[in-house]
């Protein structure tokens, strides 16, 4: 039998198999794909729990390394929700709301409630998902991967539920948290719950080991499906040396995906001899999540350190004679060729304080006393480098900055006479000299 004759039975068999599969697919005659015309869809604006940070009806992630205080951060947010308080960026809740918390890592009695008390939360508006009772009254632990429908029922009963905290969110996955299909299938229930109740869902996660220096969103442990399904990804970082922490936006499909806020953690008396930690919010930070994390995790090269040292000298010179307006500092820094991110790093390194000068004057920056009253000896580089010229007048710092941005057009000439510390800038285009 030839080749053609051998293929005929195989082809016929394949055709029969195909027809059988098609017949099975066609059996449920009642099924029909439904289409929606775009013209019939009523547009809706995104609603926010925390504007541009926590969307209502969506899943958000909060991830970070151990010790960054992720749970304490989430509880601080819960406290703001329950009291109708003010968010770190100054935006305010329209009214108080309810919070539902599930945590497999911390006990409500000795950890969660004391921290909520320390944060000033309204405990009457907070509930914990702890156990599930069967028809015989027997209890078993609540499992978000199995009992999401029960949680949805209780959310409906709460009526004012604005925030659902799931700690950790990987527990909502019954299969392999590293498999895309398992994560998507299990988290879909959580996505549906968020949408049905217009409730912001905040899932807490961790950074994978050995990921420092990579894209912050990619550092989240488990499958990248966690990040893909979340509309917002927040990351927390910590400077081990300075005990400084940051919260930054690493990914957003619906708002700006950069910027952050600094915070610290302090221990306070929560009542009845109970000590608990709470968040103390700091200032807003500009930059991408990678830049902000790199700042506290010290991810910078030699060139960046050199620029930071120069910026520290620039900022010190502006503030040596007294407070300076933030608006003036921004203007002079831009003219000197420094990015605002670099100036903010220098501010933190020098310990510069931000103060409110008044409704009209706005914010000013002030050097701490120990820096402001340093002697006039030539200063060493902040990172142990060589000597630099002492810049004496904040009013003339702009000239020093302009020299940085016009290296190709100017010739810098240092003339120290009798230890006077005078620096002169000589232009290549003319013979005039400015004393700095």
Which whole number is the average pLDDT over 18-44? 78
Look at residue 41 and give its three-state secondary structure.
Answer: coil
Q: Percent helix, strand, coil in the chain (nearest 5)?
A: 40, 25, 35
Q: Which residues contact residue 223 at a Cβ distance below 8 angstroms, ignoring those fewer than 6 apart? A: 177, 178, 179, 180, 182, 183
This model's pTM is above 0.95: no
Which whole number is the average pLDDT over 106-131? 94
Tell which CATH classification among 1.10.10.10, 3.40.50.11690, 3.40.50.300, 1.10.540.10 matches the domain 48-296. 3.40.50.300
Which whole number is the average pLDDT over 7-12? 54
Element spanning 191, H or E? helix 180-197
- pLDDT more than 70, % of the chain: 75
Quick one: how far is CA 136 from the chain centroid?
A: 45
Q: Dump strand ranges (E) for 126-217.
A: 126-128, 131-133, 139-141, 161-167, 200-206
Q: What is the CA radius of gyration of the chain?
A: 30
Nearest in space to 406 (alpha carbons), one of 386, 383, 380, 434? 434
- Specify the pLDDT at position 279: 96
151 against 99, higher pLDDT: 99
Distance between CA atoms of 71 and 105, rounded to whole angstroms? 10
Q: With 60 as the cut, is the pLDDT of residue 180 above it?
A: yes
Would you place residue 23 in the very low, low, confident or very high pLDDT band (cuts 50, 70, 90)? Answer: low
Q: With 80 as the cut, is the pLDDT of residue 229 above it?
A: yes
Tally of CB atoms within 10 A around 248: 27
Q: 146: which DSSP letter? A: T
Q: With 80 as the cut, is the pLDDT of residue 302 above it?
A: no
178 against 289, higher pLDDT: 289
Q: With 80 as the cut, is the pLDDT of residue 386 above it?
A: no
Strand partners, 132: 140
- Specify the pLDDT at position 201: 96
Q: Dump strand ranges (E) for 51-172.
A: 54-55, 59-64, 98-103, 126-128, 131-133, 139-141, 161-167
Measured CA angle at 120 (ends 117, 121), to 5 deg: 80
- Specify the pLDDT at position 425: 39
Q: Which residues contact residue 16 at a Cβ distance below 8 angstroms, ignoring those fewer than 6 apart? A: none
């Amino acid at each position: 039998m030839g080749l053609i004759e051998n293929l005929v039975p195989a082809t016929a068999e394949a055709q029969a198999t195909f027809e059988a599969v098609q017949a099975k697919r066609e059996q449920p005659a009642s099924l029909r794909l439904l289409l929606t015309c775009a013209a019939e869809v009523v547009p809706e604006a995104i609603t926010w729990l925390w504007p541009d940070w926590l969307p209502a009806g969506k899943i958000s992630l909060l991830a970070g390394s151990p010790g960054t205080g992720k749970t304490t951060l989430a509880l601080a947010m819960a406290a703001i929700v329950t009291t109708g308080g003010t968010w770190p960026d100054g935006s305010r809740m329209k009214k108080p709301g309810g919070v539902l918390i599930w945590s497999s890592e911390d006990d409500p009695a000795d950890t969660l409630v004391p921290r909520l008390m320390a944060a000033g939360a309204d405990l009457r508006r907070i509930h914990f998902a702890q156990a599930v009772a069967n028809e015989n009254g027997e209890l078993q632990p609540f499992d978000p991967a199995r009992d999401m429908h029960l949680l949805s029922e209780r959310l409906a009963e709460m009526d004012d539920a604005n925030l659902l905290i799931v700690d950790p969110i990987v527990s909502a996955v019954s299969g392999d948290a590293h498999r895309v299909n398992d994560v998507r299938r299990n988290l879909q229930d959580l996505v549906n719950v968020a949408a049905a109740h217009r409730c912001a869902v905040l899932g807490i996660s961790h950074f994978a080991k050995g990921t420092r220096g990579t894209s912050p969103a990619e550092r989240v442990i488990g499958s990248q499906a966690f990040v893909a399904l979340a509309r917002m990804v927040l990351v927390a970082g910590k400077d081990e040396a300075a005990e400084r922490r940051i919260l930054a936006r690493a990914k957003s499909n619906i708002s700006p995906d950069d910027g952050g806020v600094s915070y610290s953690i302090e221990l306070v008396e929560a009542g009845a001899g109970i000590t608990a930690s709470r968040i103390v919010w700091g200032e807003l930070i500009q930059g991408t999540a990678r830049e902000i994390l790199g700042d506290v995790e010290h991810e910078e090269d030699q060139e960046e350190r050199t620029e930071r040292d120069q910026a520290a000298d620039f900022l010190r010179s502006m503030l040596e004679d007294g407070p300076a307006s933030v608006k003036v500092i921004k203007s002079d820094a831009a003219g000197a060729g420094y990015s605002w991110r670099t100036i903010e790093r220098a501010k933190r390194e020098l310990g510069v304080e931000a103060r409110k000068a008044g409704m009209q004057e706005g914010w000013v920056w002030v050097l701490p006393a120990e820096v402001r009253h340093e002697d006039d000896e030539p200063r060493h580089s902040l990172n142990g480098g060589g000597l630099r010229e002492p810049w004496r007048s904040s009013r003339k710092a702009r000239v020093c900055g302009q020299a940085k941005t016009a290296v190709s057009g100017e010739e810098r000439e240092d003339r120290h006479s009798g230890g006077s510390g005078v620096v002169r800038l000589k232009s290549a285009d003319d013979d005039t000299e400015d004393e700095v």
